[in-house]
Structure formats: C-alpha cells, structure tokens
Chains A and B, each alone.
Chain A
Amino acid sequence: MRIVVLGAGALGGLIGARLAEAGQDVTLLEANVARARLLSDEGLYLSEADKGEHQVRLKVVTSLDGLPPSDLVFVAVKSYQTEGAVRAALPVVGEKTWILSTQNGIGNVESIRKVIDTPRILTGITFHSIQHTGPNRMRYRTGIKPIQMAPVDGVITDEVRAIGEMFNAAGLRAEVVPRVDDVVWQKLAHNAVVNPVSALTGMSCSELLEDPDAQAFMRALCLEIAGVMKARGTALEDEADPYAPIVRSQKALAKNRPSMWQDLVRGFRTEIDAMNGGIVDEAERLGMKAPLNWAIVQLVHSRERQAGRRLEKSAETMAQVKVAQGDTPLKPLGRGRFGGMPSGRVPLESAPRLKEIIHGYYADLAEAGRDSSRHVAWCSGLGPVEIVRAMGYTPYFPENNAALIGASRLAGRYISKALADGFSPFAQSEMTSDIGAMLAGESPLASIHGLASIPRPEVLVYSTNLGRYISRWFEYYANRMKAPLLGLHPPAGLDAMEKIEVDCGVQQMLRMIGRLEKLSDRALDQDVLASVVERSARAARLWSEILDLACHTPSPLTYFDTLIHVAPILLMRGTEEAVQYYEILLSELKQRVAAKVAAVPGERMRVYWEGPPIWCALRPLASLFLDQGIAVVASTYGHNYAFEALSPENPIESMAHVYTAIYENRSREFKVRFLAREFERYGVEAAVFHDARTSPEHSGVRHGMHVRLQRDTGVPAIVIEGDTHDLRLVSIDHIRSQLQEFLELRRSAPGRYNGARDALTH
C-alpha cells in the first residue's frame, strides 16, 4: 500500500518505520526542514525495549506536491497542527484514500473534516510508549493492548479490514472495531487529569500520589469529566469509582512525567485544547458546565506563553555570545561506531568563553602575586571564600591545582616527591600530588595559564567540611611557608541541620573574621560581604539550574562536563564573572534541551556518580561511558556547589549553614536519603560508587551504603575501585569489563533492570 505519514515525530516515526520495514511504500511529511534532512540522510534508529538498535531508512519530504494519491494518510502530528497538516496532504488524498488519526484528545476528526469532507476517516488509539534518545533515535515498548481503529461511520468494509491486516503484518498488533469512542474517551480521561496537573505543578506521578491536595483536585477533575461522559452515554472504565483507574495509571508512570510537562519545559505548545479544551466544548454542547477543566485550559495556556517567552530570551543571549565570539568555522564531526551519529561529544559553544574567564582569574592571581599592595590567601574549595574575598584577599585553591595535576597525568611524578618527604603511599593522592608539585617547584598552571609561580599566601584558610585531611594539607603548607593558618572545623556527620550546629559554625566564622582582621589590619565591611554573598548565591542558583537540566532525557550534559564547568563556581565564587558565565551556559543547555541534543548520542542508560572524580583518568573514563551510550547525569561532586540557602541578608549564618550542610559532611542516613531522592529525580538506572583508595573520607561505599541503597531503591550499584590521582591504583580495563558485564546482564535479564522510564505518548 502507498502510505503517507504526516509528522515524523515519535509516533509517526515509529509507525512509518515499521510499515516501511514490512515493505510498504511509506513517505513521511515533515515540516521541519532540518529534521526532514536528518531523517532522509540517516534514517531512524529504533530499539525495542532493551533489544539492540537497528537503522531504518525512510523517505522523508517537506512537500507532497506532485506525488500520486495514497491509500492511507496517517495523521501523526499534534492535535493543534491537524488542519495545517491535512491541508498539506491534499495532493495525495484521492477518492479512495483513507485518513487514520490516532491522535490524542478529541475534535481531531472535526479538524480533518474542516479541510476535506470525506467519509473515509478512521480514528483510533495506540498504546505504545516511545522515548527519544536523540534527534533521530528512539526506544519503544509495544503497547499492552493492540492498536484500535474504527471507521467513523462504524461500517467495517474490506478496505478497512485490509488496513488493519497491513498493520498486523508489519508487527503492529491492530484491531479493527466498529467503535472506539468509549476507548478514546477513557484514554482522554486519564490524559486530561494527569497530564496538565503534572505539567502545572512540575510533580512526577509518584510525587502527585503522595500529595493529598493534588489527589483531591484530580479526583474532582476526574468526576467532572465522568459527568460529561455519562451525559453523552459513554461507558466509564470504572462506574463505581471513576478515579480508581487513574490512580493506577499514576502508579504505573511512577517517577516519570507525562509529555505535557516536557512540552512546557521545552517551550512547545501543548495539546490542552484537544484534551481538556475538547471536554469543555463537549460539555457546552450537552448544555453543561466544566469549570475545573476550563480553569486547567487557561492555566496551561499561560504557562505555554511563559515558556515560549523564556526560550526567546535565551536565544537572544546565545545570539549575543555568538556575535561577541565571531563566527568559528564548523568542524566536521566524525562518524562513531555507535550508529551513524557522531561519537564525539558535541562541544559546548560556551567552552571558549569558559577558558577566557578562567584565564582571566589566573592572570589576576599572577598580578596579585606581583603587586605588593595586593593580598593572596590560599583557600580550600568549600571554605568561606566569601569572607576571604570580602576582606580583600585574592584566593588561590590548591585543590584546583591538584585537579589539574591529576587531569594532566602528572601525579605520578609528583607523588613520589611527597613520599620522599615522609608521606605514605596511602595518604590522599590529591594532597601528595599537590605537595610533590610544590616540592618540585612546578605546576601545570605554568603551561596552561602562564602562571610562572604560585603567589605565596599571606594566610591559609580552610574548612574540614570536605574531610579532615584538608587540615593536614594546609598545615603542611602553613608550616613550610611560615604563614598563619585559620581553619573552620564544622561539626561533622550530621543528619538534620540543627540550630546548635549552625551556631557553632557562626561562632567559628566570627572568630576567623576577628583573626583575619587582626592579621591584615583591615576591617571586614559587612556590606561588601553581603554583596559577595549575593553573587555567590546567584552563581549557586544558576549552577543548580544547570545541574537540574540533566533530568531531561536525553541529558544535555554529563558529569564529565560538570567537572570542567564547575571551575567558575570553585575559583570565582562571589564574582560577577562567574554569574555571567553560568547565565550563558544555562542558555545554551536550555537550547540543547529544546532541540533534544544529547550529550551522549544514543543515550541508552543513565547513571549517578557517587564519590570523588577519577581525575587521573578522566578522558579514558569519559570515552568508556560515551562508547557504551551511558550518560552519567548527576553526581555528589557537582551537587556540592548547588547551594540553596546563601542569603545576603544573613551572610554569616547562611554561610555557616551551607558550608556545614554539604553532602560529605553528613551522616550515612542523610546520604542514603539524599541519594535515593536524587536517583528518582534524575531517573537513573544504576549508580556508580567510586571507592577511591587514598580517599577514605569520600568513599562512602566502604561502609556498604550501596547495598542499603540497592535494597531501598532497587537501583543497582556498580562499585568502581580506583583513586583520584594515583594511576597505579586505577585499572580502566577493569572498569570497562565491569560496565560491559553490567550492560550484558541488564540486557539478558530485563525483568531485573526494568524501570518504567519511558514517557508515554499521551
């Protein structure tokens, strides 16, 4: 049969591909020129459930002019696009052409009829769950029920039967029935209750189930819809308790959010008019009122407008950055082994900007070292940097130097120098790498940022919130350089944050301020501190929003990206430059989300990373995950900088709270609860726990945390033994076989690793 599919999105793509594979003559009409070209050139990569991916070549066009009439036109566009799409399809609609719509909501047949008044219309309903994992890749699960289709006049002719048979022959289970009206309304009831409420509140289905107000509202909304259904004589799924089936579908969707939420976040129009809007129209036709449904329609429209405005704004910001940077020629991206998509990560456009500002930071640090009127302080990464800056010091961070040493694979050379000076090979390699480099009088900062030498500190300031070893590290330097040492020792291992602990933090900070004032002979200006804290707070909020974007599937960024882009909030927390950078990065990532650009092309598994980074093997590690299509979407490391509670109105107390409350400084119970929430939020299928040999304080897995989490959340753990800096303690080969084994077991035992993660095509 000759088939034209209107719309090459999730449903159109899947149906079109399957029919094409079965030998039917299929042409897809796609309005988006870029998408049409991508699909035409590369086809579609489909994978069913956990099976392997395969490529399907497709005929995709942007215009149907000049094509012969088709036997079937399958309408697979959004409800609000129906009229336009059918109009574009007129060239291929002949006397014998059947038009099939399995679109969401109601009123679609009327839309079709506005363009062409034909009796040959089939309506229906599909139960597939389809998820995009890239611009032309999809994972799908066949529906629990077959596709139902019915001719609008209720008369099943041979032609209609033939269409049903064609679907079945293509492996798409389908049933031709005289009526689908009941089923359509029953599906609509689910969609119209769950979708908009989830979209408006931002809550996932499991969160909605736990919220009594949401449940009360949804029950009322459902009963209003049930009233309309009863009035038009449509059977309810459950006459006795109409809301019960909807509770069940919320449970089935669990941590997922329906597509309407995704549409709003991406700034697209939703199908609200065909759903709740259709219900309002039907109620009016019957002489009834549907006030709750009407309210929903208004609210969703407002959100649509708001999301659209935000997208415009971020496009403006990006355009400004592009103008500032000038046009860089497009580099051709290589073909990867993982399907036809380029295997290299699509580099972020903001990356050159990042280099610029970090370079600026180090240039300024060098200047501070040369200028005798300026003051340099050495700081720990999550120390009270705001106080240090407010007191006029330029901060330098040994931890950043250590990270660069690790990433440049120089640690081996330097660790031995530290060992010769008395350190044990089991001491934190982060520390011994940095100390060894100092003993050798070298630093990667020289070659990377032109920093001839690291300016000596007037004072060293640290906090033990990331671990007690920090104090030994800084003590060593203080001793060697005969510089004063000031430390914060917040209470550790906390479960809830209680006032007593915050007060302790406040007292320690006040004491530190007093000592700094005495040392420097300068007073701390509270207003200056407040503005520094204000900028820190903004940077942290932006960083938090950036990390949240990884909740999307596919994720626009990975853990390995965050290790690079964390630099501004680590080194330049409290400056305006850091804030500006994150605004740019956030814009770019939002655009990626809207365009469904995946950081890991073909993302087929999402994992969480608990524990410190393996700095010394980042590149091979990143390639390993990339090659396997695994996106590491979130980490405890990145989260450390996503402070919520910094407040310029209350700088010292909020700092005391935030710097004591970080993950590494908390109790095991807190960590377990926190991780369980994060696993759910990011929708991860597994969690990688890094047991860093020389970093016991950061390797929570040593106390069996992963077993407890696996029991509580069902998320399997992959324990990687390695180290942060000492390559002798890391075996990439071993990690590769661990990942391969995990993936193979997941593939061969789908029941165990099956998470209900797919977004249903509601």
Chain B
Amino acid sequence: MVVAGADVGTECVKAIVATGDGKVVGRAVVPTRGYFQDCFQEAMSNALGEAQAQVSDLRSLVVTGFGASCAAMATQTTTETLCHARGAFHHLQKPMTLVDIGGRDPRVVRVDERGAVLSVKSVRKCAVGIGTFLMFTSRHLDVHPTRLMDLATTAGKPARVGSYCSVFAEVEVIELLRSGATAGEIALGAMYSVADRIMEMDRLEGPVMISGGVCEYFPGVVKALGERSGCPVEIIPEPIMAGALGAALYALDSARGG
C-alpha cells in the first residue's frame, strides 16, 4: 500500500510517495508552467515511477498548496500551514519557529513540542511573491535564477533594495544599476530585502527553521535572515519537500483510518 502527498505551488509542484510504514520511496519536483493539472500529473507520475507504483496502488492522496484544488483525484486537501508544520516537525521532533519561504506566500509558523501549530502569521496580500520576486530580479539582472546566488557572493555589501513588490523590482534594478551598484550587490540586496520582509511578519525567536524552495536556491536569504534577526537559523532537511512530506503524512493517517 502506498500513499502520496503533493504540494502544488506557484513555482513548482512537489510530490512524495510513501509506503504504509512511512518510508519515502518516491520524490518529484516539476516546475509549474501553464496548466496546474498537467504539472501535477507529471509530478505524480515521476514520483510514482521512482517508487515503482501505479496510481491504482494509492490508498490516499493529500494535496496542499496554492493549486490544490486542481488535483481532482485528491482524497483530501489541507492547508499549507499544517503540511509544512507537519513535514518540518517530522524531521526535527521539537518545538520551533518555522519560516516557510516559497514562491507566493511566506509564513511564520510557531510549532509546539507536540507538533501542533500555535500561531501562523503571513504577509498581507499585496507584496506577495517572495520566491517570485527573486525570480523577477534574476531576470532583470539577466542571469538564470540558479546563478543568482553565485552573483550575490561576488558582492561585499548589499545594495538597498526597497521594493518587495515584483512589479516595481524592474524599475528599481534599472535605477540601481544606473547609480553604480553592481549586479552582485543588487542580487545580495534582493535577498536582504526578502529577509526584512519576513521580519515584518512576526517576532522571530530561536530556534528558527526554514522550509520552502527559496532557501535551497537562494541560501543568501537564510544568511541575511540570521543576521537581521540575530537568531540561529537553520534549514530543515529537504526544505522544498516539507509541504509535500506533511501532506504525505496526513495521507498516511487517512489510509490508516485516522
């Protein structure tokens, strides 16, 4: 018997297939381009392929994320907060302040010693898109997003990037370049801007754990967050899969009759 959890995000779809005794046997990450349904199907088939299982073997499928409603075959949909908290707690088994930085909606989640969510604070609707914001910045600096981090490490200090709004990013990048900032300083500045944004959401108290895709591709954000908050900040194992893992664990509960 296998179960699956999927996190249909704005930048990527993540899928995890696990066996009945909780062992992860299949993983997939597929960029979200165009139709959510197609990307979801692709991620599921990749993960099932790795697990050498069929859709018909699935006892339960829990889907979370922005595009969760696109997954017609889901047994259940659950919020991102619960899934990320569950996924992170599964790794750590201790109370924490979890900061999920994904493509669209960053959130600060406090989790207690039993893994229960104590509070969740998210950013106000406007100026969302933290991961998206970094993708925009890469495009305007004319580098592939995977190279943005390399670019940032060439800089000694960050440029002051004020806007967090993806739409204003373009104008700001042009203005900064014109005033003499290097691409590296702007790249680094963008990451500090993201960290500042997170600090506006909630007070951070250590230990601070990070999940979501941004920390994997842009570790500069994690370093900036540590500096700005003065707290010890760590990345959880497989941060981008946290939501999908949590969803898979909920699927396991459901299959076991919980």
Contact = CB atoms under 8 A, between A and B. Distances in A.
A744 interface: yes
Given A748-B116, A749-B116, A752-B118, A721 B79 contact: no
Nearest to A737: B79
A309 interface: no
Contacts of A721: 124-126
B81 A745 contact: yes
B67 to A, nearest CB: 11
Contacts, number: 28
B165 interface: no
Given A737-B79, A740-B79, A745 B126 contact: no
B117 interface: yes
Contacts of A752: 118
A751 to B, nearest CB: 9
Interface string A732-745: 00100100110011
Contacts of B222: none
B163 interface: no
Interface in A703-762: 719, 721, 731, 734, 737, 740-741, 744-745, 748-749, 752
B81 A731 contact: no
Secondary structure of the B contact surface, majority rule: loop
B78 interface: yes
B82 interface: yes
B218 to A, nearest CB: 25
A217 B120 CA distance: 46
A741 B125 contact: no
A731 B125 contact: yes
Given A737-B79, A740-B79, A745 B125 contact: no
A741 B79 contact: yes
Tell me which of A691, A734, A745 has the highest count of chain B C-beta atoms within 10 A of its own C-beta: A745
Nearest to B82: A744
Contacts of B125: 721, 731, 734
Contacts of A737: 79
A691 B126 CA distance: 12
Nearest to A741: B79
Nearest to B79: A741
Contacts of A744: 78-79, 81-82
Interface residues of B, number: 11
Interface string B106-124: 0000000000111010001
A149 B126 CA distance: 61
A430 B120 CA distance: 33
B28 to A, nearest CB: 24
B79 A749 contact: no
A737 to B, nearest CB: 7
Interface in B174-221: none
Contacts of A691: 124
A745 B120 CA distance: 9
Contacts of A734: 125
Interface in B92-117: 116-117
B124 A749 contact: no
A749 B117 contact: yes
Nearest to B68: A737
Contacts of B78: 744
Nearest to A731: B125
A659 to B, nearest CB: 33
B10 to A, nearest CB: 12
B141 to A, nearest CB: 30
A726 B118 CA distance: 35
Contacts of A741: 79, 81, 120
Nearest to A740: B79
Interface in A674-726: 691, 719, 721
A691 B125 CA distance: 11
Tell me which of B79, B82, B118 has the highest count of chain A C-beta atoms within 10 A of its own C-beta: B79
Interface in B119-135: 120, 124-126
A748 B115 CA distance: 11
A744 B85 CA distance: 13
A468 to B, nearest CB: 24
A745 B124 contact: no
6 contacts: A691-B124, A731-B125, A740-B79, A744-B79, A748-B116, A749-B117
Given A745-B79, A745-B81, A749-B118, 20 more contacts: A691-B124, A721-B124, A721-B126, A731-B125, A734-B125, A737-B79, A741-B79, A741-B120, A744-B78, A744-B79, A744-B81, A744-B82, A745-B82, A745-B117, A748-B82, A748-B116, A748-B117, A749-B116, A749-B117, A752-B118
Interface of A: 691, 719, 721, 731, 734, 737, 740-741, 744-745, 748-749, 752
